[in-house]
Homo-oligomer: A and B are copies of this chain.
């Protein structure tokens, strides 16, 4: 057994049997080991950001870490943006990054770089394997970091000689410690705050947005009259008919600030103090009114669902909270011009139960999201880190995590371009993903930002930097080039037709929605 084989065996022995890979020469021993040792599902991606984003999506849906296989410091660098997104989403991931043989590093070969330096900004844990004998334990330590609460991004750097050298062991990952319960004092403070009148709110995030936790939140709201809010960007929000409704903080700073107005007591459960997406001159960074008392009941490292249950029991909140539960709406399929309302109605009418919606629709999405609460029960995933190019890769991971469910990716054209190589992996793995490209042919959100800094009438240079036209991207051709069938929708009727096709067919389908 060599180091690479002990690594693969250790991963498999501990249930880590999925690897999103974009390998190079330094990873060939790992690849050779996969042939010898059965059980690892390897998913090839043609760009590293697809691998890391897919691992993020897999974790969000399955709540267990996948691995990525990346090639040296520049390969890892290509995966960083989606590791940033995964880190912000609280996803656990194990990155295995090939490296030059330890004795070769000093010679500054073409691909030599500071791999640990590249890893640190987007990792919680980084280690370079010191020998082939140590690799199994290194892998177990990395898995432990990814599985602990809060979950971590663990990057294990694997010099080629640690792969090809001898090894004897397969290591075990110790069971993760149970997440810590909410502090008794915080629980008491939250209880008092919620019982002191009607201008209190729960701000929910992370694990508090799974349906069981939401049930407890609904009971608390029914008992105390508090508002139920969630963060603006969530790793996974369970919603739709039968689930407790929460109001998502708007992305727009002014509107978010408005939503928070009048709240005098804010209880954070799995959420952080809300902060403006960007700062603007003479505007506050924090979205909490100055007079508002903030009580942190449980953070992402704690037992968030348990904290809500304890709070509900402390408050004697009775079962049942019907008024907070979303009802199923069954609108007819809309026709005519594309509007946010029309997109929302189409989604409500068509998305099947348990659909996983991966949303990176940016400027339009903020307008149709609030209108989709009456759809069949579904999961809604946002980009928590907000680096563009998260949706297509995350959709891959989600589809692999839940092969019986439909995945719907709603992506702006500008965003989708960052990781369009994901389409090929969707086709190769025959994943049931329907991609809707919201093609406004511009970085539309930036038009708004330019406006916010006082430029209401941008000149040709600025406009050129915000426009995706001249030439226009042809998403139907781009999809077909990657092996994904595709269609185009110019109006709501065509959108419904194309969505029905995508959501009922086998394998991926892409819809270019001209908005």
Contacts and interface: CB of A to CB of B under 8 A. Distances in A.
Contacts of A488: none
A453 B121 contact: no
B26 A471 contact: no
A293 to B, nearest CB: 19
A111 interface: yes
Interface string A465-485: 111101111111111111100
A49 B78 contact: yes
A25 B118 contact: no
Interface in A278-302: 278-279, 281, 285-286
Contacts of A143: none
Contacts of A470: 428
Interface stretch (A102-110, A215-223, A262-270, A335-343): A102-110
B78 A74 contact: no
Interface string A83-127: 011001000000000001101100111110110011011100000
A104 B420 contact: no
Interface stretch (A177-185, A193-201, A400-408, A456-464): A456-464
Q: How many copies does the complex hold?
A: 2
A17 to B, nearest CB: 12
Given A424-B473, A481-B474, A279 B161 contact: yes
Interface in A301-319: none
A107 B73 contact: no
Interface residues of A, number: 105
A44 to B, nearest CB: 5
Interface stretch (A59-67, A345-353, A369-377, A381-389): A381-389
Nearest to A478: B481
A84 B103 contact: no
B121 A117 contact: yes
Interface stretch (A32-40, A148-156, A168-176, A391-399): A32-40
A28 B279 contact: no
A421 interface: yes
A111 to B, nearest CB: 5
A446 B23 contact: yes
B35 A462 contact: yes
A428 B465 contact: no
A25 B278 contact: yes
Nearest to A479: B481
A36 to B, nearest CB: 8
A275 interface: yes
A24 interface: yes
A431 B160 CA distance: 41
A77 interface: yes
A328 interface: no
Contacts of A117: 117, 120-121
A408 to B, nearest CB: 22
Given A47-B417, A424-B473, A478-B477, A275 B109 contact: yes
A240 interface: no
A450 interface: yes
A496 interface: no
Interface in A51-76: 72-75
A368 interface: no
Contacts of A104: 275-276, 278-279, 285
B471 A427 contact: yes
B272 A108 contact: yes
A414 interface: yes
A233 interface: yes
Contacts of A233: 110
A21 interface: yes
29 contacts: A23-B443, A25-B446, A25-B449, A28-B453, A31-B458, A34-B465, A46-B417, A74-B81, A75-B387, A77-B81, A77-B84, A77-B122, A78-B389, A100-B278, A101-B279, A103-B279, A107-B275, A108-B275, A109-B275, A109-B277, A113-B121, A114-B120, A117-B117, A118-B121, A161-B281, A417-B421, A420-B421, A427-B471, A471-B483
Given A28-B453, A42-B465, 16 more contacts: A25-B277, A28-B450, A28-B455, A35-B455, A44-B465, A47-B417, A74-B80, A74-B84, A77-B121, A111-B386, A113-B121, A164-B281, A417-B421, A474-B480, A478-B481, A479-B481
